[in-house]
Structure 1
Amino acid sequence: MARAAHERAFSPPQQPQSPDISDALSARLFATRGLSLELAAPLSAEDMAAQAMEDASPTKWHLAHVTWFFETFVLKPHLPGYRLFDEAFNFCFNSYYEAMGARQPRPARGLLTRPSAARVMDYRAHVDEALERLAERGFETGSDLARLIEIGINHEQQHQELLLSDILALFAVNPLRPAYREGRARTSLSAVGEPSETCGSAAAGWISYDGGLVKIGHAGNGYAWDNESPRHDALVRPFRLADRLVTNGEWLDFMGDGGYRTASVWLADGWAKVNAAGWRAPRYWEEHGNGWHMMTLDGLLPLETAAPVCHVSYYEADAFARWAGFRLPTEFEWELAGATLPVEGNTLGTRALRPVPAGARGEASPRQMFGDVWEWTQSAYLPYPGYRPPEGAIGEYNGKFMVSQQVLRGASCATPDGHSRATYRNFFYPHQRWQFAGVRLAAEVS
């Protein structure tokens, strides 16, 4: 892969670098590798091998795939004498890189009972030992190798979030409704670090923005994916944005008003999906004799009405917004609102592992912009003006998926700390709802 291709694909750091930048990058690399093992630690070998559905992957596969990424794109071309752990692993753990050859079909990843979870751990240890040898040589600032290490770190962070969402999908179809972790009280949570504001039931406030011709996209300082560039001008009309996320309690109102039975609030494809799949509530909601419950990584819990609604599709998010008399924000509106806010909130570092109610008004507003749930926007996932996918296998990472999907912004309760930013563009198909995705409302300025 040519150096120029990487420069187009992923923005290198532009700020002055300290002399120990190589050590810092190495520390982040091995901290990320260690976090993946920490997230997998509560799971049995049986848990790690199962696949809940075609959209999900087994934990064992996630752990092996991110290791394959480092072996394939970092170690093979940059560590002389590196010995492949197992040549068959290229077929088993390649995801969608056509340039890297044939692969196990995604819907059938759960059939990979071999290699065992123990052998996957041996694979990780083999690759980590080689990465340590490579790190001893140092990662020159701005080099092709340093950029590949940065890509690998961010790639593994994405799979850490997928690992958690896929385990939730798996445990939700288990009749025992097991908890991912033990020792956590199966009770509701208030906002991380502070009590919720009147249980989060107060009506959402609104913040107005003037809009105008605004700069959209990554400015070049720090890391970014290729789909966040080129930076360009976008015309944004004046708009309003809700100062918090839509809650479970508000979603119950939508359901009580016949939201899932009222065709007029749904897009045609969404209405077809509702009827074909029999949707009547967000994913992981269950109605029992004592009320609604929700499957979480802490097991089946009573629904917390003040917490943000989660695990809804774009179709559901759009229908709720229409029912409420508003709309979803565009991704440009969202970026304008989030650009000056601190990138902090209920992300993976809090270990809440589920959305929590909005905090008091003392926090940055709009609230909950980074954390709790990824926020659906009404923007289709398309290339920015002037975008060109990079050459080589790395170029398959984003560009070829720019069709038939919707952009989500922000971060979720399962997003690793430091992974997101205001320009980050997540994307999923409009029917998908196993991810930690929710809703923020927007409207025109009247």
Structure 2
Amino acid sequence: MHHASNTLLADYRRVRRFSEQLCAPLCAEDMGLQACPEVSPPRWHLAHTSWFFETFLLKPHLPGYRVFHPEFEKLFNSYYNGIGEQYARPHRHLLSRPTGDQVRQWRQQVDDAMAQLIPACPQLADLIRLGLNHEQQHQELLLTDLLFSFSFNPLAPALTSAPPLDGTTTPLSFSDFDGGLVDIGARDGFAFDNETPRHRVWLNPFRLANRPVTNGEFRAFIEDGGYQQPALWLSDGWAWVQQHDIRRPLYWQADLDQHFTLAGLQPLDDNRILAHVNYYEADAYARWAGLRLPTEQEWEHAAGQAGSEGQVADNGQFQPGAAGDGPLASLFGDVWEWTASAYLPYPGFQTARGAVGEYNGKFMCNQMVLRGGSCATSRDHLRASYRNFFYPHHRWQFSGIRLAGDLT
């Protein structure tokens, strides 16, 4: 077998194994949890990632491949209209069948078939890499979805033990950037289509905070009446606060002393990096602090020059730590950082042909860009050009705040 095929097969097995490792501590009842339409059950994530390989690789490219079950194409299709009908997303918790054992058998069949396909079809390497990065995205979703679903249980179930907090908060400071004409977008190696094409943008001089905002700093915003001051909020954000009676970040308890995590209910440490705020909260906090959120182009330009790594999924802690030292600490990992940029196509963006072209392009409307990865993101999934995107009211992801400002 060619060296490139050997490497790809090893990566395939590693990524697929990690999905199953994440589910290993779960019981059968956990595997079907879906607390709202925006999240999915763990068993569905295991199945859908297999659906991707079966649908886009094995069925069209491996002669004689027989699908595990003909109904699975509909049950585990997420949003690919070019493939066909989809089972309604809000009802995924009703799928008590296939059982966990059947899903694992399907995964094994897909893995065995992919072990044949990978060395036989080197021309499919890019599509296989897309499938692996897709599975890593679903590993992150599996963790954040499970956290949300667990949070409704008064027993406060835990997936992991509480991680120690290493270090204390470094004082807030800023790095200055000259701006100018800079290159933005994917370089070499794997990238999603929304990171292309590489292009030039003009940046005015700006400054970026040395670390993300902490729990303690956000508590000060709450205690100063931040959620009661309409002048701090965008109109849609203030409507969201009023409609849902929002008074604190997701998972914070009313006493502001504890929060729910994948290690259960834990003390709210002032030094830990803030997570689970949405775009409206991030923007309001920045306004309260007399600053702003960075644009995604400012963030990427800064990340191309420096930036350290915080907690990532590989570490198995699944919650942010304390920001480290350095001019741009925890730029990668810990929390996805909201930017002030709407999720739109880059100049010259082209969607791929066929159903796989639905991967990112059709979502370029009404969402905001986040950068940097989180404590639920795999290390080899991190890069400066990566564009994550969510609706501005969503906050069940590990999403946080890094402040920016203008240099005049």
Q: TM-score, normalised by structure 2?
A: 0.98
Query: Match for 2:230: what amino acid?
Result: A
2:341 alignment counterpart: 379
2:24 alignment counterpart: 41
The CA distance in 1 between the partners of 2:307 and 2:240, in whole Å, is 37
CA contact (8 A) 1:209 1:238 kept: yes
1:342, CA displacement in angstroms? 6.0
Structure 1 residue ranges, 4+ long, deviating more than 6 angstroms after superposition: none
Say which SS state the counterpart of residue 374 (structure 2) adopts: coil
1:157 pairs with 2:157: no
2:396 alignment counterpart: 434
CA contact (8 A) 2:319 2:375 kept: yes
1:252 pairs with 2:219: yes
Say which SS state the counterpart of residue 393 (structure 2) adopts: coil
Say which SS state the counterpart of residue 273 (structure 2) adopts: coil
CA contact (8 A) 2:310 2:324 kept: no
Q: Structure 1 stretch 119-128 or stretch 339-348: which is displaced more?
A: 339-348
Say which SS state the counterpart of residue 385 (structure 1) adopts: coil
The CA distance in 2 between the partners of 1:323 and 1:189, in whole Å, is 31
2:321 alignment counterpart: 356
Query: Match for 1:229: what amino acid?
Result: T
1:65, CA displacement in angstroms? 0.1
Q: Report percent identity of matched pairs.
A: 52
- How do 1:47-58 and structure 2 match up within 5 A? 47-58=30-41
1:138, CA displacement in angstroms? 4.0
1:445 pairs with 2:383: no
- How do 1:350-429 and structure 2 match up within 5 A? 350-361=315-326, 365-429=327-391
The CA distance in 2 between the partners of 1:282 and 1:57, in whole Å, is 22
Structure 1, residues 387-408: CA drift from partner, whole Å, max 9, x if none?
Answer: 1212110000000000000000
- How do 1:185-334 and structure 2 match up within 5 A? 186=162, 189-191=164-166, 196=167, 199-200=168-169, 202-219=170-187, 221-288=188-255, 292-334=257-299
- Gap regions ≥5 residues in structure 1: 1-17
The CA distance in 2 between the partners of 1:62 and 1:349, in whole Å, is 19
Say which SS state the counterpart of residue 25 (structure 1) adopts: helix
Say which SS state the counterpart of residue 73 (structure 1) adopts: helix
Say which SS state the counterpart of residue 99 (structure 1) adopts: coil
The CA distance in 2 between the partners of 1:95 and 1:44, in whole Å, is 24
The CA distance in 1 between the partners of 2:101 and 2:10, in whole Å, is 25
2:301 alignment counterpart: 336
Give 1:99's match in structure 2, choosing from 82, 88, 94. 82
Give 1:347's match in structure 2, choosing from 298, 303, 312. 312
Say which SS state the counterpart of residue 176 (structure 2) adopts: strand
Query: Match for 1:384: what amino acid?
Result: Y
The CA distance in 1 between the partners of 2:259 and 2:301, in whole Å, is 33
1:383, CA displacement in angstroms? 0.4
2:150 alignment counterpart: 171
2:101 alignment counterpart: 118
The CA distance in 2 between the partners of 1:324 and 1:42, in whole Å, is 41
The CA distance in 1 between the partners of 2:308 and 2:217, in whole Å, is 26
How many residues align? The count is 408
1:119, CA displacement in angstroms? 1.1
Query: Match for 1:267: what amino acid?
Result: L
The CA distance in 2 between the partners of 1:189 and 1:441, in whole Å, is 26
The CA distance in 2 between the partners of 1:292 and 1:318, in whole Å, is 24
CA contact (8 A) 2:53 2:131 kept: yes
Say which SS state the counterpart of residue 118 (structure 1) adopts: helix
1:23, CA displacement in angstroms? 0.5
CA contact (8 A) 1:210 1:238 kept: yes
CA contact (8 A) 2:307 2:330 kept: no
1:118, CA displacement in angstroms? 1.6
Structure 1, residues 320-377: CA drift from partner, whole Å, max 9, x if none?
Answer: 000110000000000000013367331111222100111234xxx3111001000000
1:19, CA displacement in angstroms? 5.5
Q: CA RMSD in A?
A: 1.4
The CA distance in 2 between the partners of 1:345 and 1:441, in whole Å, is 17
- Gap regions ≥5 residues in structure 2: none
CA contact (8 A) 2:296 2:370 kept: yes
CA contact (8 A) 2:342 2:366 kept: yes
Query: Match for 1:359: what amino acid?
Result: G
CA contact (8 A) 2:147 2:261 kept: yes
Q: TM-score, normalised by structure 1?
A: 0.89
1:85 pairs with 2:68: yes
